[in-house]
Amino acid sequence: MLGKKMLDELNKQMNKEMYSAYLYMSMSAYSEYIGLNGFANWFMVQYKEEMEHAMRIYNYVNDQGGQVKLMAIEEPPAVFESPLDMFEKTLTHEQFITKSINDLVDVALGEKDHATNIFLQWFVTEQIEEESNDNDIISQLKLIGDNGNGLLMLDKEVGTRVFVPQITGDSQA
Ligand code: OFO
């Protein structure tokens, strides 16, 4: 069973994950618009992963007998300066999400809610990978600089990223 504060914070986190999905969908659309289809693929995979993150929380709240509450999703930016700009904004956003997950863990520990603490550990680990992936691509984009060939090579590489569903149910979005 979830305490009221824990439930409220989980519902808010679900909304943040939905915003993450929306943000990366927007970056995917922009990448496609400027002809970088590999980056468009990378961000679309990210969008799908974020939808799964939201669904993990949705399923957990339901499993715990809590009431899922859907809130309005903020409008993401539609235009970006460059691939580097998109990945720097992605990293900044993921750092915000990491802090938010850490705050959720603090609430779970404060309420002695061990089940939710265990549930959240998956997200704690996932955030390490998210930030690491973003940092890697930012480093590569900085090395590439204004080199068009380098950018096209990286576009090709990130175009191979594949979405691997991790949870069952209607998570494919
Ligand atoms: Fe859900 O990990 Fe990104 O936001």
Q: In this predicted model, what pLDDT tens digit does every residue of 66-90 receive, in sequence order?
A: 999 999 999 999 999 999 999 999 9
- pLDDT averaged over every residue in the chain: 96
Residue nearest to atom 3 of ligand 1 (CA): 94
User: Does residue 170 lie within any of the structural domains?
Assistant: no
Segment 112-137 shows an average pLDDT of: 98
User: Does residue 165 lie within any of the structural domains?
Assistant: no
Q: Cα 56 from chain centroid? A: 12
pLDDT score for 169: 58
- Nearest atom in ligand 1 to 50's CA: 1
> How many angstroms separate the CA atoms of 160 and 111, rounded?
43
Segment 46-62 shows an average pLDDT of: 98
Q: Is the pLDDT of residue 172 over 70?
A: no
User: Does residue 51 lie within any of the structural domains?
Assistant: yes
What sign does the CA torsion over 102, 66, 15, 121 have? Answer: positive
User: Does residue 135 lie within any of the structural domains?
Assistant: yes
Expressed in angstroms and rounded, the spacing between residue 149 Cα and the centre of ligand 1 is 30
pLDDT score for 122: 98
Instruction: Choose the residue to mutate in 10, 20, 73 for probing ligand 1, maximizing ligand atoms within 8 Å of C-beta.
Output: 20
Query: Which residue type occupies 93?
Result: H
Segment 133-162 shows an average pLDDT of: 98
Q: Is the pLDDT of residue 168 over 90?
A: no
User: Does residue 75 lie within any of the structural domains?
Assistant: yes
Q: Indicate whether residue 134 lines ligand 1 (CB < 6 A).
A: no
Provide the whole-model pTM: 0.96
Structure-derived torsion over alpha carbons of residues 29, 33, 36, 41, reported in degrees to the nearest 10: 20
User: Does residue 172 lie within any of the structural domains?
Assistant: no
Element (H or E) spanning 11, and its range?
helix 4-33
Q: Is the pLDDT of residue 171 over 70?
A: no
Q: How many domains does the chain have?
A: 1
Q: Is 82 helix (H, G, I), strand (E, B) or coil?
A: coil
End-to-end C-alpha distance for the chain, whole angstroms: 28
Segment 117-123 shows an average pLDDT of: 98
Domain that holds residue 114: 4-158
Q: Residue 24's closest CA among 168, 161, 122?
A: 161
Confidence of residue 173 (pLDDT cuts 50, 70, 90): very low
Could you give the angle at the alpha carbon of 40 between the alpha carbons of 39 and 44, nearest 5°? 115
Question: Domain with 116 in it: what CATH number?
Answer: 1.20.1260.10
